[in-house]
Every structure is written in C-alpha cells, then in structure tokens.
Amino acid sequence: MRYLLLLSVLLVPACERRTTDRTLVFWCSNNAGEIAFAKEFTEQWQRRRPDKPLRFQPIPEGQSSEEIILASVVGKTTPDIYANLWQGNVEMYARAKVLVPLDTLKGFLDFIRTRCDSSMIREITSTDGHIYQVPWKVNPIMTLCNPRALAARRAPQPPYTYSEYLKAGAQFRFDRNHDGYTDQWLGYTEVKPIWYQRLFNFYPLYLAASNGAPLIADNRAAFNNRYAVEVFRFLQELYRKDYFARERLSATRDPFLARRIATQFTGPWTIGFLEKFKDPGFEYETYPMPVPDDHRGPVYTYGDPKNIVIFNTCPDPQAAWEFVRTLIDRPGDLRLMELTGQFPRRQGLNSDPYFAGFLRKNPRLVPFARQAQYIRGVDNCEVIVEVFDIISQEYQACVLYDRKTPEEAVRDAARAVDVLLGN
Amino acid sequence: MRKDKWIPYGLVAPYILHFAVFVAFPVVFSVVLTFHRWNIISPMEFIGLDNYVRLFKDRLFWQAIYNTLRFLVVHIPLQIVVALALAELLNRTVRGASFFRAAFFLPVIVSGVVVTILWQQLLGYNLGLLNRLLTAVSLPRVAWLDDPDIAMYSIAVMATWKNVGLYVILFLVGLQTVPAQYYEAADLEGATDWQKFRYITLPMINPTIFTVVVLSTIGGFSLFIEPYIMTEGGPLNSTLSAVMYIYQQAFQYYHMGYSATLGFFFALLILGVVMLQRRYIEQEN
C-alpha cells in the first residue's frame, strides 16, 4: 500500500501537464457517463472561450479516487478543477490550504445562493468561514422494496415506521428449506466494520429520525441523543430477531433480485443494475428510510454528495470558476442527469419545469428526485473518517453483537469522539 | 593504478545507491517521523515523545498485538506439526509422492487474495461449504468468521493451509540429510518408530525446526491479507492484527507519525521475540 502511494506520487506527474502553458486541467470521474459529460462541456467551453484554454482528463487509475487525489496533492500535481470530491475530505484539504476559497471569486456567492438553500450553504461552509466546494451531485439513500414478496408473506407495506418495519420483519423472515436456519430476511445492509459502511445504514437512519441533525456541532459530538439511541435499538432488534442477515451476502447473487430479502437501503445507482438484471415480472418500489413511530415532518437521508473543488495550483481560479459554473447551471444539471443518471444538488429540482421532461421519461428516478430536497452530507470535520470509525466500532458491539445497550454504545461513541476532538 | 582503485567503488555504487534510497532513507525517515505529527499534506509538526506515550495508552494497539499473538500461538505449532507429519509421510516410499509434493506446494504459489476469498466462501455461516456439510450430518452451524472467539483461529488454520507446503519442503530436505545408518543402528537395538523419531530425527533436524519457527514467526507477525479481506479486523476487532492496525493509522487516518511509531515498536518486538526463540533453541541444543 505504502509502495502504491509512492508509485502514484511518482506516476501522477507523468500523466500530468504543468508545462509553461496556461491551459486549465479538469479531472472528472472515470466512468463512461461522466467522461461524456466532461467532454461535452469542455468542447463547449473551448468554442465559447478560446482565450481560456481548458482540457479534461479522467482521474488516473488507482485503488480509489481519494488515494489519487491525495497522491497528487502530495506530489503537487493537482489538476486545476476536480469534480467528484467526497464532501468529508474537503475540510482536510481546506486546512492544508490546497484549495481555493471559492467565496473570494467574483460571482460565486450570488450564483450559489440561487442554486442552494441556506441550510445547504451552511453545510458546505468550512470551519474558517470560507466555502471551498461547489455542491454538485447527490445519490440519496432510500428504501427499495419488493411489494409482491411482502404481500405474499402478508407483511405490512411501506412507507415504514420502526414498528411497522419490525412487523414486516416478523412476517417476512422465513426458513425456506426447513433446516432450522433463516434463509429469507426482511433486509440486508453491509455488516463490514469499515467506517464508510455506516454511511449507508446508521447515518441515513439517524438523519431520518432527527430531521437532518448533525453528528458534530461546535467541535463536539452532537449525536448523544434519543435519535441515535433509537436508531441503534431499531437496528439491534432487526439483527437480534434475525430479520436482517448477519452474514455478508455480497458474494452471492444479488439477494434482492433473488428474493431472499424484500427491502434494502440503497441509492439511485442500483436502479440501472436492477433494470438490467431483474427477472421478468420483478417489481420494486422506492420509499424514504424508516422513521421512529412519533416522527413528524419530512424524512431526511444521506445524499452521498460529491462536490467540485479548485486547487490552489490553478493559475486562473476565476476562469476555472466560470467553467465550473457552466457545469452546474440548469442546462448543465439536466445534462448531468441525462448522461449519468445522477442528481444535481440544487433546490427545487423536483418542482422545476425545466427538469420535468427528464423525470417523466425516467419514472423510476422520481422518488430520488423528490428525496433530493431532503438530504444531508457529512459534517465539516477534519477527522470525520475517524468519527465514523468510532461509531462503526460501537455499531458492531451494540447492533451486530448485542454486547452493549444502545444507550451505552451511543454514549461511549460520543465520549470517544469528544476525546478525538480534543474536549 | 589510480583508476583501478575506483573500480570496486563503481561496482558497488548501484547497490549502495539502491540501499540508500530504498532502505536506509526510509528507515531513518521513519524514525524521524516517530517524533512528529504529519498527515502527508500539511507540514510536519514536532511533538517529541507524544506518539510513544500514545502508543502505550492505545488500547486498540495492544488488542491488535494480543490478537497477533493469539494467531501465532495456534499458527506456529500447527504449521510445524502438520508440515513435519506431511514431510515424514513424503520421505517414505509412497506412490505418487511427487504429485503430493506439488499438491502441498500449490497453495504457496497461489495468490494470497485468491486463497483468502476461497476460504471466505468455505467458512460462510449460511452458505459456506463447511457449514453445509455440518448441517447435512445434523450438526449445528459454526460462525467461523462471525464469532469473535473463533474468527482468529479460523484465520490461523487457513494461513497454515496456505503456507504449509513451503515448510513441508524445508522439513523434507532436513529429513533427507539424516544419515540412514543411525536408523539402521536403532533398528538393531530394537527401537520403536517413536523412539527413532524422538531421539534421532528431531535432534538431527533441529536447525530446520529453528528456521521454520523463525520464518513462521516473522510471517505470522506480518499477518495482514487474511483479516483484511476476510473480516476487515472484525468481529469486534478480534482479528485486527498489528500490521493491519498500523496500515489503518497510516492510510485510513493519515496519522503518519503515529503509524511510524507503531511500526518501529513492532519491529523491535519481532526482533526481541526472534532473539528469545534463538536463545531457547540454542540452549535446548
């Protein structure tokens, strides 16, 4: 691993420019949809602004894009613009002073206020008061259900509160081959202890229960509350009663398509997969995350946001911003949806007539578009990965192995996070 | 004459350069790092002995050391017993000996990742072959990789299966160096098979045993791929090995200084254990 990183540091300059010319370099993701998107907008820019040359390049291959970006920062070979940075990494780079504070660029604040609501702007504002990231695209985590399978077992149908979901679990759990072991569960969510898996189970449930409350506020753990405890208890019950599978099912045929589970927490990327591989007649629907029984108001979730940044090696940040702006105005956002099937992070997406045609043509994506109005990213915290790791440790102890009560697990996690944050 | 004097230096220069860049510099740099806080992208900050103080208070690091020792306690004896038994069998005149030699060695040359994924499938709770066999004979399933009390031992068995072929070959070489006259003399004295093994074979292959113990200790201390792929250190950190923890600190959290401190301490620990082993085996001799 260490050698890979070193190799990346050595190789990244080889595939990078940095000659004396002032051509701006834009790194995009290396999937086909985003490459097509980047190509189209780069060509448009070149036609419109020949005085500000710009070229795009898919991010070099590596174990992960985070690793490549880190290697390029270390090697001082960063692109000028990078689209696809996980929001949780921005604060670390901002503190290292390798990002351009975008709010210092002409026209940025005016534009961003038309695209984002005030809570979104608060979320992307760094601890030093500057904004270093442009909210770009999201993949809201929601509950996918197989209504026919649920009906066949007379299980309650979604949308779910915790008690309805647990009732559905009791009805749906089944020992198909009568060997004394459950082999049909209500749901499955990854049980690996790695921190980022909590972004797809604990965290969206916590946001749903708490109406989008933060984990970290004023440099302290803010999750030692009834919402986190309820989420831990809810998940603990699902595993304790065998409504969720404890074993990793990822190495088998997709359990949702194989009807071994009836629900899953996932994002819009699953839709393409399901449409491609589903059996004829297989039906599924999309709903918000389960919430506590007394929940009121909209149901928030984790949006898995990926944002755009400009690195401080950029020779012309103002021109770079002008280009970024073309990616995220309304035509840019529409093309993003058309070419990649992903959602722009902009207010009013679901009600804006400009996007209505696309959503009419893609009805499977409509619930995600609606949900995109009620999403959160992660808190701006330099050690957010460690925060999730601490939560993940307690999640294992409480939810999966029943070694702690939800109250103890949440309290211990909050204490550990406070120590981590120097309190 | 003067020119000739520089030729030896010129000949060793490539190695010296390689050694300086890829060995000496990283070692010295790692030692320097142990006194700093550094996340790769921000400037290094000198923090004196803070990393060492943290190391001694770090509960998870000591658990990782304990886990690694738990692995070694099962892995090393199992490795030696199985390898020696197989080598003894192969040392006799058996049909298809060369086939078995190749078969035992095969897992050694197969990629560790492939072997690990294969065993993950074998040991799965609901769908694993082993549990299916248990269920078929009406025995209860075992959570081979999901029970914190069992998972590390499952990994130790798997690692033994993967590496035993190499040690079989080493033992086989050792066994073939034992002079046949010793066994003939023992036969004339009426020694049993066990007595021949205990009083002739074992003392004669002691240097091989020492080599195997040292190699498996060092190999066992560097346990990484198996828990990284099979369990990611879980359940409840019961398979988190020391090397995996060092890796996490460096490449998950970018605590380069602390990670270097852990690595430095761990290297000293391995050195200490190997020295103790050597001393013990020399005393036995």
The tens place of each residue's pLDDT in chain A, 423 residues long, gives 445 454 554 444 544 444 456 899 999 998 888 999 999 999 999 999 999 999 999 998 887 888 899 889 988 889 999 998 998 889 989 998 999 999 999 999 999 999 988 888 998 999 899 999 999 999 999 999 999 999 999 999 998 999 999 999 999 999 988 888 888 999 999 888 889 999 999 999 999 999 999 999 999 999 999 999 999 999 999 999 999 998 777 666 889 999 999 999 999 989 888 999 999 989 999 999 999 999 999 999 999 999 999 999 999 999 999 999 999 999 999 999 999 888 999 888 888 999 999 999 999 999 999 999 899 999 988 889 999 999 999 999 999 999 999 999 999 999 999 999 987
Task: Select from B40, B146, B232 the Cβ nearest to the Cβ of A194.
Answer: B232
- Asked if A386 reaches chain B (Cβ–Cβ under 8 Å), the answer is yes
SS3 B152: helix
B124/A389 touch (CB, cutoff 8 Å), yes or no: no
CA distance B149 to chain A (A): 12
Fold match, A2-140+303-376 / A142-302+383-420: yes
- Asked if A197 reaches chain B (Cβ–Cβ under 8 Å), the answer is no
Would you state the pLDDT for residue A240? 96
Would you state the pLDDT for residue A31? 87
Would you state the pLDDT for residue A1? 46
Q: Which residues of B touch A (CB under 8 A)?
A: 39-42, 120-121, 124-127, 135, 141, 146, 148, 232-237, 247, 250-254
- Asked if A74 reaches chain B (Cβ–Cβ under 8 Å), the answer is yes
Task: Select from A74, A93, A385 the Cβ nearest to the Cβ of B253.
Answer: A385
pTM assigned to the model: 0.85
What residues of A are in contact with residue B237 (Cβ under 8 Å)? 193, 393
ipTM above 0.90? no
Domain ranges of chain B: 50-123+150-284
Considering the domain delimited by B50-123+150-284, tell me its CATH architecture: Orthogonal Bundle (1.10)
- In this prediction, residue B2 has a pLDDT band, given cuts at 50, 70 and 90, of low
- Asked if A92 reaches chain B (Cβ–Cβ under 8 Å), the answer is yes
- What lies within 8 Å, CB to CB, of B76 at 6+ separation is B213, B216, B217, B220
Would you state the pLDDT for residue B30? 94
Would you state the pLDDT for residue B1? 53
Q: Span A142-302+383-420: which CATH code?
A: 3.40.190.10
Q: How far apart are CA A123 and CA A118, in angstroms?
A: 9
Q: Span A2-140+303-376: which CATH code?
A: 3.40.190.10
- Asked if A96 reaches chain B (Cβ–Cβ under 8 Å), the answer is yes
- Asked if A402 reaches chain B (Cβ–Cβ under 8 Å), the answer is no
Task: Select from A1, A96, A181 the Cβ nearest to the Cβ of B42.
Answer: A96
Would you state the pLDDT for residue A306? 93
Q: How far apart are CA A5 and CA A287, in angstroms?
A: 41
B234/A193 touch (CB, cutoff 8 Å), yes or no: yes
Would you state the pLDDT for residue A8? 53
pLDDT in tens, B123-160: 988 778 999 899 889 899 999 998 999 999 999 999 99
Domain ranges of chain A: 2-140+303-376, 142-302+383-420
B236/A397 touch (CB, cutoff 8 Å), yes or no: yes
Mutation pick from A247, A313, A399 vs chain B, by most beta carbons of B within 10 Å, is A247
CA distance A370 to chain B (A): 34
- In this prediction, residue B4 has a pLDDT band, given cuts at 50, 70 and 90, of confident
Mutation pick from B42, B224, B262 vs chain A, by most beta carbons of A within 10 Å, is B42
CA distance A402 to chain B (A): 11
A389/B252 touch (CB, cutoff 8 Å), yes or no: yes
Would you state the pLDDT for residue B207? 87
More confident site: A131 or B285: A131
Average pLDDT score, chain B: 91
Would you state the pLDDT for residue A49? 93
To the nearest whole percent, how much of chain B has pLDDT over 70? Answer: 98
